[in-house]
Structure formats: structure tokens, C-alpha cells
């Protein structure tokens, strides 16, 4: 069982690195992934019979990485405001670090589909991890938005930064902090 996981994990990790280099799922071949993972093609096909199987595994890997990173960002924060600020900072940086600036421009249809599928689960996770912090957002306190709606808005704002990259991500973060009712420091 351990060998299976190690092989599959090595293949997915290699595929993620290769995808970052290629910039497009269309250019990703199973042969190139096998070479990058330093496994034989039969080993790769044993775990990922098709390219689509591998793409599903890559998406699951990236999703897991997102949730682990969010949990890590929140781990040291003890106040609701600190947790919300940490989550906002994480959102602003995660997509750029994971996919790079050009990725949504290369495959916009796949990008939008992926984000659409991810949004409900990410919203639910944000509500679960940050519900008390999001409840302090001024529009939520005023009864204008639910906690779920506010969480979704923050995620959609981060998605917009990914889809239409901002030359100044710190400005986006400052705007999100302001919307959250957090103290906003002037950009340096």
C-alpha cells in the first residue's frame, strides 16, 4: 500500500511540476509525466490509465494543498480578526503561487470550470473555519449578507485576481481587509 501511494504521489507531483512548466493541460502527455516522475510508462498507467484520470488526481492534489495551506495560515492566529486577515492574505497569494499568472489565459474554459466546481466546497470550508470571524464583517453584522455570502464574495474576489491578475496584489488585499472591517495599513 505504501509503495502505491509513493508512486502515485510522485507521479502527481511530477505532473504538477510539468504542468507549471508547460502552462497547458493540452500539452501534458502521460509519456512526459512518466519521464518527469522517473517511473516506467506501465507504472504510470497502473495508477492513471488515462490523461483525464491524472488530471483528476492533480485537481485533488491542488485542492488538498489549498486546504492544508489555509489551515496552516490560520494555525497561529488566535483572534477572529487575525484568522480572517490570515485567510485573506492566503487567498491573495495561493492562486498565483500555484498556477502562475498565465495559466487562466492559456485555458480559460478549464480554469473557470475548475473554479466553479471548487467554489461551493471552498465557501463551506471558509464558513466552517472562519464563521465567527466572518460574522464580524460589517455587512454581515448589519444583516445585509449571510456568513456564507460574505465567504463566497471573498473567494470570488480572490478568483478575480487570478483570472485578471492585478499588478499590485497588496492593493487587492488592502481592499479585502477594508471590506472585512479589518484595520487597513497604508500600502508602503
Alpha-carbon gap, residue 18 to 33, rounded angstroms: 7
Query: CA 137 → CA 59, 77, 133, 152, 155, distances in Å?
Result: 31, 17, 7, 13, 14
- Predicted structure pTM score: 0.75
List CB contacts of 11: < 8 A, sequence separation 6 or more. Answer: 33, 34, 37, 39, 43, 44, 47, 48, 54, 57
Arithmetic mean of pLDDT over the chain: 84
pLDDT in tens, 10-69: 899 898 888 777 766 677 889 999 999 999 999 999 999 998 888 888 888 888 888 899
Q: Give SS3 for 27.
A: helix
Domain boundaries, the chain: 1-49, 60-180
CA-based R_g, the chain, Å: 19
Architecture of domain 1-49: Orthogonal Bundle (1.10)
Amino acid at each position: 500500500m505504501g509503495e502505491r501511494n509513493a508512486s502515485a504521489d510522485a507521479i502527481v507531483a511530477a505532473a504538477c511540476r510539468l504542468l507549471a512548466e508547460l502552462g497547458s493541460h493540452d500539452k501534458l502527455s502521460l509519456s512526459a509525466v512518466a519521464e518527469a516522475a522517473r517511473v516506467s510508462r506501465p507504472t504510470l498507467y497502473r495508477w492513471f490509465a488515462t490523461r483525464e484520470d491524472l488530471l483528476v488526481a492533480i485537481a485533488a492534489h491542488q485542492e488538498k494543498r489549498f486546504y492544508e495551506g489555509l489551515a496552516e495560515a490560520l494555525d497561529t492566529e488566535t483572534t477572529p480578526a487575525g484568522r480572517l486577515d490570515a485567510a485573506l492574505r492566503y487567498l491573495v497569494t495561493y492562486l498565483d503561487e500555484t498556477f502562475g499568472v498565465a495559466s487562466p489565459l492559456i485555458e480559460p474554459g478549464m480554469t473557470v470550470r475548475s473554479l466553479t466546481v471548487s467554489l461551493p466546497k471552498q465557501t463551506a470550508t471558509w464558513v466552517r473555519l472562519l464563521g465567527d470571524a466572518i460574522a464580524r464583517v460589517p455587512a454581515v453584522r448589519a444583516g445585509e449578507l449571510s456568513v456564507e455570502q460574505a465567504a463566497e464574495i471573498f473567494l470570488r474576489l480572490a478568483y478575480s485576481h487570478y483570472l485578471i491578475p492585478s499588478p499590485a496584489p497588496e492593493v487587492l488585499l488592502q481592499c479585502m481587509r477594508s471590506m472585512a472591517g479589518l484595520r487597513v495599513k497604508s500600502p508602503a
